[in-house]
Amino acid sequence: MSSLNLDDFTDLIERPDGGVRRDAEARRERLAVPPGSLGRLDDLGEWLAAAQGSVPVRPVERPRVLLFAGDHGVAELGVSARPAGSAELLVRAVLEGGSPVAVLARRLGVPVRIVDMALDCDPDTLPEEVVRHRVRRGSGRIDIEDALTLEEAEAAFRAGVALADEEADSGTDLVVLGDVSVGGTTAASTLVAALCGTDASVVTGRGGLAIDDLAWMRKCAAIRDALRRARPVLGDQLQLLATVGGADLAAMTGFLLQSAVRKLPVVLDGVVVAACALVAQRIAFRAPDWWLAGHDSGEPGQAKALDRMALEPLLQQGVKVGEGTGALLALPLVQAAAALAAELPEKPEAEEKPKD
């Protein structure tokens, strides 16, 4: 029996300040640039103002990319284009600066933090700051066994909560959230299908490296088997994460919820993060008000999850590589919205007052 009371998040999470948002909308009406002419940038600026509780909105100056890493046992079934247990290589590419997210982060001046929750490698081969939150070595094969014990799921969830507190306390003002995993999209698609009541074929995509038809069918079969194990525990979100999730997914769910508690905005990346957000929404219905969907990855499971949460992606560039890359591409758009909302001049008073 877990000692974690997830119902507390419902009481702790408030919506962004509605009064501040109305003030931001009123200020937008006074700007020299006509209302509506900046399209969605207006909405973004007003959302940021409400999240910050500030009019005019403050610039986003201390963003952070946060990536949760893990290997998933279900990858042994050949559901991924990458070999099972190879997420360590992806982590090393980020650490060494050779991955897409590392290149973009370097160009944008955004620090990247990687958290190993369940990589299938010797922890001594990676830096201490990466592995210090690890719960276990690899998550279980969800088609035939639980991904985690309930105790491991709770430990991972609590690690995510602690990391949200660390980021908020350090002055981070926006987090770009992503995953580094092999087999993670299979676990994520299972969660989405379970929570949305859909069949595996509706949520199963082909991943970042575009698996072939046979691998896609194996992936569907694995998700269907995992769904049979997920449905009996749908009423207990922590048990659901233990049964068909994984340590990285449990940690991301905790991070998303605590970020909402701490009023820390988060930009969501692909299907894995979207699945965790969907679990978090089931726990605390106001939590999605603190998140932005960074981009459309083309994964059907992501589209299903975002639709359920009424989140519309900021970008549609077909980026499938994962690792927070697509969400990081959306960061300059968010920063531009903040700058425009804060720095555009207001109309001269003579223009605002009707003539007699």
Q: How far apart are CA 356 and CA 342, in angstroms?
A: 32
**Which string of b and e fits 244-255 if b means at least 16 CB within 10 Å?**
bbbbbbbbbbbb
The candidate with the shortest Cα–Cα distance to 50, out of 79, 25, 28, is: 25
Which residues does 142 contact at the CB level (< 8 Å), separation at least 6? 72, 73, 74, 186, 187, 190, 222, 226, 229, 243, 244, 245, 246
The alpha carbon of residue 12 and the mean position of all alpha carbons in its chain are separated, in whole angstroms, by: 20
**Furthest C-alpha separation in the chain:** 79
Q: How far apart are CA 17 and CA 49, in angstroms?
A: 8
DSSP conformation letters of 286-307: TGGGGEEE-B--S-HHHHHHHH
3-state secondary structure 28-76: HHHECCCCCCCCHHHHHHHHHHHHHCCCCCCCCCCEEEEEEEEEEHHHH
Q: Which two tokens stand for residue 214?
A: 């046979």
State yes or no: is 349 an active-site residue: no
Q: Which of 323, 343, 349, 352 is catalytic?
A: 323
Q: How far apart are CA 274 and CA 278, in angstroms?
A: 6
Number of helices followed by number of strands (H, E) in the chain:
16, 5
Q: Which residues are catalytic?
A: 323
